[in-house]
Structure 1
């Protein structure tokens, strides 16, 4: 919806920028030092870079992935498809598809969700793929959201295998 786009302008930021804002946000450190830090961080952008996609209010920013244009620009910048990792209802993380397999990334999302994201803010443990050439977004993984039972059973069978 066009209104949403105007009311909540989309924000795509390199994770390094986000980190530098967290570090330098309220500090008394000179702007010069922050600039230097950002420069170093920006020089190290490569296929392992992560981008945070949200909106300016940072509220329910994950909906921003519904706008195709910023995803396309980012995919062009990487020169590859993107994997989109649902970070929370407020933001998602985009990485180059060269960064790893969707299943490994989904495992990471799952662990972060379990450990760090408030249950009300969790989106899903799935990873999405943005196809640069087709300009479409689709599910890249099909792991049914793991239940705690699965985790327990997995741990138990590991112990059994180790003969404990």
Structure 2
């Protein structure tokens, strides 16, 4: 079954997996452009009298079907998602147009600026290096996920508000609705290994059982000697925005003990790597781009850059730009300690019998 046949079959049979009230619903599949210009196919099942319907994206379901998941199982899940999704009625939409009644629902997420250049010309946003904070109105937050609407230029004009007003509201609302979560990578990997080994989520285990399995998977197995942390939110969705919560960058610096690199793992999280004076940002950047190309959905890619946070300057910059500026400043200055260390390392590796050891990352 090719993808077109798959879409047609889903649209044709979905009503059989929904309650009787959906008998006269309008079923359609529409193409919707998402982050990074990615186009997805959205199934919409609209009840009589409704003016909007949730978008249930079929692309991933088709991949699951190709991997062996049955159509019946897929249709059952799609039906469950549609039934559990409560759509706002017309009165709610009228409220949506009233800024005073939606201001507490305005949130932000972060996207890559270069890959969304055309869209950014039409919507209010705030630049953060080569990333952009964009604003959305939170419509629903349930177990299956969240529903939100992008704030475009027309809506901003209708509300009569500035970008600064949107930003100030979103700054407070986003951290309230989606609290930040900052954890060591080794801790997360340990939980993943326990779950894979036992088939049970460690969070549902009693304390004694969980402690036993966590002890089984020691830190040495996870190469925990290299500190790395994950920053996201409590939903692990659009969690990279947590980096821009009030004083978050400063708080991270305190926790890791100084300057650090930020690796944009995806729009859902970022990785934090403390600067030990040895790690080469270019190696980190190569890793980010390799992961973007092989592991991250095109729609979830944030950027291909690596960032550096200077604790003393309280400044987040693109690591490559920082390195270029530092090189320019140092052309006529005495060699720094790091320069001397690097020079010594290069000299040693060129001597016969020596093998060069490169710092690496293990995730």
CA RMSD of aligned residues (A): 2.3
The match for 2:157 is: none
Once the 2 structures are TM-superposed, how far is the Cα of residue 118 of structure 1 from its aligned partner? 0.8
Tell me whether 103-112 or 60-69 shows the greater mean CA deviation.
60-69
Is the CA contact (8 Å cut-off) linking 2:190 and 2:214 kept in structure 1? no
The match for 2:267 is: 89
Of 180, 184, 200, 1:27 maps to: 200
Distance 1:73 1:115, change over 3 A: same
Q: Does 1:64 align with 2:242?
A: yes
In structure 2, how many angstroms separate the alpha carbons of the residues matched to 1:83 and 1:49? Answer: 11
In structure 1, how many angstroms separate the alpha carbons of the residues matched to 2:303 and 2:288? Answer: 8
* Bigger relative contact order, structure 1 or 2 (CA pairs below 8 A, ≥6 apart): 1
Tell me whether 16-25 or 117-126 shows the greater mean CA deviation.
16-25
Tell me whether 117-126 or 77-86 shows the greater mean CA deviation.
77-86
Distance 1:102 1:36, change over 3 A: same
Three-state SS of the structure 2 residue aligned to 1:72 is helix
In structure 2, how many angstroms separate the alpha carbons of the residues matched to 1:71 and 1:122? Answer: 21
In structure 2, how many angstroms separate the alpha carbons of the residues matched to 1:68 and 1:109? Answer: 26
The match for 1:104 is: 283
The match for 1:16 is: 186
Once the 2 structures are TM-superposed, how far is the Cα of residue 77 of structure 1 from its aligned partner? 3.2
In structure 2, how many angstroms separate the alpha carbons of the residues matched to 1:85 and 1:19? Answer: 17
In structure 1, how many angstroms separate the alpha carbons of the residues matched to 2:253 and 2:293? Answer: 29
Which structure: larger Rg?
Answer: 2
Of 127, 131, 134, 2:310 maps to: 131
Once the 2 structures are TM-superposed, how far is the Cα of residue 97 of structure 1 from its aligned partner? 1.6
Is the CA contact (8 Å cut-off) linking 2:307 and 2:319 kept in structure 1? yes
In structure 2, how many angstroms separate the alpha carbons of the residues matched to 1:118 and 1:9? Answer: 24
Q: Does 1:2 align with 2:172?
A: yes
Three-state SS of the structure 2 residue aligned to 1:27 is coil
Number of aligned residue pairs: give it: 139
Gaps of 5+ in 1: 143-164
Three-state SS of the structure 1 residue aligned to 2:249 is helix
The match for 1:152 is: none
Is the CA contact (8 Å cut-off) linking 2:281 and 2:319 kept in structure 1? yes
The match for 1:154 is: none
Gaps of 5+ in 2: 1-170, 322-363
Three-state SS of the structure 1 residue aligned to 2:200 is coil
In structure 1, how many angstroms separate the alpha carbons of the residues matched to 2:216 and 2:234? Answer: 23
Three-state SS of the structure 2 residue aligned to 1:141 is helix
Once the 2 structures are TM-superposed, how far is the Cα of residue 111 of structure 1 from its aligned partner? 0.7
Give the TM-score of the pair, scaled to structure 2.
0.35
Is the CA contact (8 Å cut-off) linking 1:106 and 1:141 kept in structure 2? no
In structure 2, how many angstroms separate the alpha carbons of the residues matched to 1:136 and 1:37? Answer: 40
Is the CA contact (8 Å cut-off) linking 2:232 and 2:239 kept in structure 1? yes
In structure 2, how many angstroms separate the alpha carbons of the residues matched to 1:131 and 1:116? Answer: 29
